[in-house]
Structure 1
């Protein structure tokens, strides 16, 4: 049994689905359009909820649980679509239309609910403290768009994946580990900037499908 690793409030996991179709990635942009339409409305709600949560934390030091669960759900749904499409291309299983956790799906996102959040940090973390992380995320993702190709490093790596799938039918394991690590970084920053945790995201690339923030047996 391995020693438990350090606790992290944001944990993303994923397993590479094999075999993967050589050609399905060519049409996934069409297949995910229903998700993109729904997510467009959900992200409007996400930003509205974040504004409400800002004032709730400022006055009560608490993020209302129902609002927190909704925003976690939006991030979780977006990540599943990205994992299926051009954020990872790591599964051909169509993502469910769900805000909740889906244990049967090959990827998952969990953000621990904070009992208390700092009133002082809520004033500065989303725009000032996170600026260095925004610069990193801009390089990694370019623009994190569920269902559409990222323009940053992640998008370039996934393009390599797509070409490899087309000609060889294989997804190189080391490339999968790197793509997962980069997406994990982006999701940690997203949760911090969305006021969902006070723990500053680490400047660390945690590779692979198993998040080091979990207790691994």
Structure 2
């Protein structure tokens, strides 16, 4: 299965507040105001890109970065609010990619685009998808219809809106977000964003009629947002830090001693050995192999308590 050039990824950022979703519409008002201006500009940028593609066969990169940024910003705000309710982390005010935010959008820049497709793909070829997306988002949260003056209609509703409200009610009473609803909602959001990028002339690859459910794209790991390491250097918008932290092993000293300081290193026994004076065990005290885990004191603490219980049990 080949990768589609529009990648939509998200992580269910649990634990979630039981009642915060009731006021997220209010908290998101600053974003809605900014996005109103950005989407107004988005229409004119798309028209300019239309003529540029028609003449040169290329989407000007500065315009492409802007339209990608607007879609990315919109996706973060909608993921925070009522297109998913997947996180309580307030969305950043930026067009740039934010690697540690639970919702991410990436669109591969096309070196060449068809001059002929640009005439029909944004309306005629996309009609079947408009029907599907209209059912998903009710005409629609992302890009189910387009008005005569080139602007886009988008509003909450459809199956996404109904399921998100159900998830919110369940969250209110149980404190947990139903995983099946999350996976299904993410599949519909992903479908809508693929169509949005296609009709915005950002790719010639026709969106697949496929509901890729869950937070990860097919064949890819979901993003693993984590707080930055206390000794990590700062990062400014527009940089290109790693997509997610690399897997690592807890050191032998930390794995067997809950009171010890966590020490993690890259995925390689030799690299981990250099982080501690104790030799790295290839298996736990119970004889089972250590699985790779993510760096972080929570993961190491869990491993250490498990190793301690196994050691006491074997004794």
TM-score by length of 2: 0.65
Task: State yes or no: 1:163 paired with 2:157.
Answer: no
| Change over 3 Å in CA distance of 1:166–1:215 after alignment to 2 | closer
Higher relative contact order (CA closer than 8 Å, sequence separation 6+): 1
Q: Give 3-state SS (helix, strand or coil) of 1:150's partner.
A: coil
Question: Given that residues 50 and 194 in structure 1 are in contact (C-alpha distance below 8 angstroms), is that contact kept between their aligned partners in structure 2?
Answer: yes
Match of 1:96 in 2: 92
Displacement, 1:214?
4.3
- CA distance in 1: counterparts of 2:112 and 2:6, whole angstroms: 16
- CA distance in 1: counterparts of 2:44 and 2:219, whole angstroms: 29
Match of 2:112 in 1: 116
- CA distance in 2: counterparts of 1:149 and 1:127, whole angstroms: 20
User: Gapped runs of 5+ residues in structure 1?
Assistant: none
Displacement, 1:21?
0.4
Question: Given that residues 11 and 213 in structure 1 are in contact (C-alpha distance below 8 angstroms), is that contact kept between their aligned partners in structure 2?
Answer: no
Match of 2:80 in 1: 84
Aligned pair partner of 2:20 in 17, 24, 31: 24
Displacement, 1:107?
1.0
Q: Give 3-state SS (helix, strand or coil) of 1:119's partner.
A: coil
Question: Given that residues 8 and 214 in structure 1 are in contact (C-alpha distance below 8 angstroms), is that contact kept between their aligned partners in structure 2?
Answer: no
Structure having the higher Rg = 2
Match of 1:135 in 2: 131
* Worse-matched range after superposition: 162-171 or 32-41: 162-171
Whose helix fraction is larger, Structure 1's or Structure 2's? 1
Displacement, 1:175?
1.1
User: Which consecutive aligned stretches of 4+ in structure 1 deviate over 6 angstroms post-superposition?
Assistant: none
Task: State yes or no: 1:57 paired with 2:53.
Answer: yes
Count of residue correspondences: 211
